Amino acid sequence: MRNLIPLTMLALCCTACFEEDDMVMPHDQGDLEVGVAEMGFYYGRQVYYDLHQNREVASNAATEWDLRFESAGGGWTIRLNSSKFMLAGTTGDTVFSDIPVKEEMDMTFDHSGGYPDSTAIGTWYSLAGDSAISMRQVYLVDRGSDEKSRPLGIRKVQFDISGSDYVIRFADPAGNPGTTRLIRRDPEQQWIYFSFEAGISEIAPYAGQWSLLFTRYTTMLQTNEGEDYPYIVTGVLLNTAGVAACPDTIHDFGLLALPDTLDLELSTRADVIGYDWKYYDFDAGIYTIVPGSAYVIRDRDGFYYKLRFIDFYNDTGEKGYPRFEFVRM
């Protein structure tokens, strides 16, 4: 059956804001496809997956980078690698030679929703007209730990601006004068990835080449007493450059069709798919897929997919291999 639905109708029912909508060209509904993200037993790989091609388009070791710098679009957001449980806080001072004490600072992490106003680094600059000027405050950055919970150390960091590019100065907390690196923007890349050890790293594919990121990430959970506490989870983050999604608990997965998406509210929140499509069964000692956990995803080309998870283990019974099935509607 061929479908033709103007996206402007769908946009009225979406929470996400997109650029001027195009019309979805007539197309046949796709066949049921199965994908798998090979993260590994310790979830040590970050896997970028494209639904359109049904394949992994890039992957990297989760420990391969520390910070990512907004590149395309002219913004100045700096994010932590939340897959390592990284934390950061400002000293409120500009003297790089001072020795910050972590226990005396308010250390926090990036919100898993991907909001630019909810990062640990925060607004490290001021605006004067069209120009950004660094406030040159010194930050303490806890690099978190690797997939085996081994700590990766702490750096003190100072950010500056050179034209349209970033300048980063960093050292051990007691180190001085530290190391300075220039981070040049690339208008073709959404983010520039940086490692304190290796410098700039090529991590994510171009924004138009992937849909979902399978990764560990830091988020806020609650205790049984209702108290917030940060925790590392394993799940899925959206490519927020043009991809939107939402859970679908309304429709039968097998019967869900494109017109049914009018009933749904899609979002570009990065963790809208998240981690809770699975749970740990303590009695059985395994992860189990939550029944009925299905999602509708609108990709960067305007096509809609229905997706559900079917397993978290590979054929040899090793965890860390999320398996899912999906159909282009």
Side chain identity at 313, as an amino acid letter?
Answer: Y
Tell whether 196 and 271 lie within a shared domain.
Answer: no
Cα 85 → chain centroid: 13
Q: Clarify whether residues 232 and 265 are in a common domain.
A: yes
pLDDT tens for each residue of the chain, 329 residues long = 333 333 333 333 333 333 444 445 555 677 999 999 999 999 999 999 999 999 999 999 999 999 999 999 889 999 999 999 999 999 999 999 999 999 999 999 999 999 999 999 999 999 998 899 999 999 999 999 999 999 999 999 999 999 999 999 999 999 989 999 999 999 999 999 999 999 999 999 999 999 999 999 999 998 888 888 899 999 999 999 999 999 998 999 999 999 999 989 999 999 999 999 999 999 999 999 999 899 999 999 999 999 999 999 999 999 999 999 999 99
Token digits for 22?
């195009």
DSSP letters spanning 77-120: -EEE-GGGT-EEEE-S---TTS---GGGS--B---TT--TTS-S
284 and 173 within one domain: no
Give the residue from 201, 224, 251 where a domain finishes: 201
Tell the burial category of 160 from Cβ atoms under 10 Å away from its Cβ (0-12, 13-18, 19+). Answer: middle
Residue 144 and residue 266 in one domain? no
Last residue of a domain, one of 170, 201, 232: 201
Would you state the pLDDT for residue 17?
A: 38
Same domain for 19 and 105?
no
C-beta contacts of 198-204 below 8 A and 24+ residues apart: 198/64, 201/60, 201/64, 201/65, 203/46, 203/58, 203/60, 203/64, 203/65, 203/68, 204/48, 204/58
Cβ-contact 163, 153 below 8 angstroms: no
Quote the CA–CA distance of 86 and 82 in Å, as a whole number: 6
How far, in Å, CA of 2 to CA of 26, rounded?
6
Say how far apart CA 41 and CA 320 lie, in whole Å.
5
Which residue is it, tokens 């994010």?
Answer: 79
The pTM for the full model equals: 0.89
- Report which of 179, 161, 182 is spatially closest to residue 171, judged by C-alpha positions: 179
Q: What integer pLDDT is reported at residue 18 of this predicted model? A: 37
Q: Which of 151, 178, 201 is the endpoint of a domain? A: 201
Whether residue 238 is found in the same domain as residue 166: no
**299: helix, coil or strand?**
coil
Buried/exposed 108-140: b ≥16 CB within 10 Å, e otherwise: bbbbbbbeeeebbbbebbeeeeeebebebbbbb
Residues 83 and 137 in one domain: yes
Give the CA count within 13 Å in the CB-facing half-sphere of 318: 11
- In the chain, DSSP finds a helix count (H) and a strand count (E) of 1, 24
Q: What is the pLDDT of residues 13-55, one digit of tens each?
A: 333 333 444 445 555 677 999 999 999 999 999 999 999 999 9
56 lies in the same domain as 72: no
- 49 with 145, same domain: the answer is no
> In terms of Cα–Cα distance, which of 195, 101, 114 is closest to 140?
101
Q: Are residues 152 and 266 in the same domain?
A: no
Whether 71 and 190 share a structural domain: yes
What pLDDT score does 30 carry? 79
Based on the domain organization, do 134 and 45 belong to the same domain? no
Residue 247: how many CB atoms within 10 A of its CB? 17
Q: What is the DSSP letter of 23?
A: B
What's the pLDDT score for residue 16?
39
Q: Domain of 111?
A: 66-201
Please state the domain count of the chain.
2
| DSSP letter, residue 168 | E
